[in-house]
Amino acid sequence: MALRRGDMVKLAWRDVNFAEGTITIRHGKAKREDVIPMHPQLAASLGTHHAARPGLPAARVWPEAVGNLTRNKDFLRAGIAKRVPVLDADGNPIKIGEGEKVKTKTRISCEDADGRVIDLHALRTTLGTQLARSGVTPQVAQKIMRHSDYCTTLRHSTVLWLNDTSKAMDKLPGVRPTGSDADAATGTTDSSPVDPQLFCQQLGRENGDSSAKTRDGARGADRFGREQKGLKIAAYCDDARRGAEVERKGLEPSTPSLQS
């Protein structure tokens, strides 16, 4: 669940609801009350811890603060940290002890090969990354991580690599031309049917230039049609006005047969 250090220090047993499988964070970083679900494995671990060290509802779940050394030893036992030799100024291992008990002095290293530091807060990045790899939407991950904006979840608490993007590409359906000639030209032997609706609609939306040109052409044709219609109506109105003028003067309109 990747609680912050302050959340763990202030967490009391009254905040742990085993019946509903939730934990209430009352004095978190955001200065609000958050109710978040517990992972079943965490609920089982806290249940065992409570049975071994029962306490009043107001008692703290972890009454003793955990120091860096204790936490680093936990990381070492979990296999996410390692012991490395301590080197002197010249880069040589420092020896301790005397006689048969001499050995190389070591320290617990909480850095990986890329120089990233493994600490308590890094567990929140682990949670955000696992949520993303499980297909959880950023908005839901934001609620679990208790961020004010899901952009913070994506920017600071999610780390995805090439293997993640490769898996995403593997989930996409394939596109192949239809017809035996196309198969022979491309060397495609997969005969599984492909639904054209999976691609045509999407390609139509993505092809913004073609769509824009089509819309512009349709609007131009419509505008030209309206202009031609307007000219015809104006000509008809002119003829009607001339006819009305002749009737008011009591004259008959001339016809081509009479003038010839």
Which tens digit of pLDDT belongs to each residue from 81-126? 899 999 999 999 999 988 888 999 999 998 877 778 887 778 888 8
Q: With 0.85 as the threshold, say if the pTM is over it.
A: no
Cα separation, 224 vs 230, whole angstroms: 10
In this structure, the number of other CB atoms found within 10 A of the CB of residue 104 comes to 14
Residue 123's pLDDT is: 81
pLDDT at residue 32, rounded to an integer: 84
Measured in degrees and rounded to the nearest 5, phi and psi for residue 121 equal -70, -25
Residue in 163, 117, 160, 123 with CA at minimum distance from that of residue 138: 160
Contact 107, 84 (CB under 8 A): yes
- Looking at the DSSP assignment, which residues form a beta bridge with residue 82? 109
With CA atoms as reference, report the closest residue to 46 among 8, 78, 80. Answer: 8
Which residues lie closer than 8 Å to 49 by C-beta, 6 or more apart?
61
Q: In what order do the strands lie in the sheet with 22-25?
A: 16-17, 22-25, 34-37
pLDDT band at 41 (very low <50, low <70, confident <90, very high): very high
Q: Which of 37-41, 56-60, 102-106, 231-235 has the lowest mean pLDDT?
A: 231-235
- What pLDDT, on a 0 to 100 scale, did the predictor assign at position 146? 85
Mean pLDDT confidence for 33-55: 91
Closest CA to 6 of 145, 120, 109, 122: 120
| Helices and strands in the chain, H and E counts | 11, 7
State the alpha helices, DSSP H only, in the chain: 5-10, 40-52, 68-78, 122-133, 138-145, 150-156, 162-170, 180-186, 200-206, 208-248, 256-259
Q: What is the pLDDT of residue 237?
A: 61
How far apart are the C-alpha atoms of 76 and 106, rounded to whole Å? 13
Supply the pLDDT for residue 190: 55
Query: If pLDDT is split at 50, 70 and 90, which confidence band does 215 have?
Result: low
Residue 66 has what pLDDT?
79
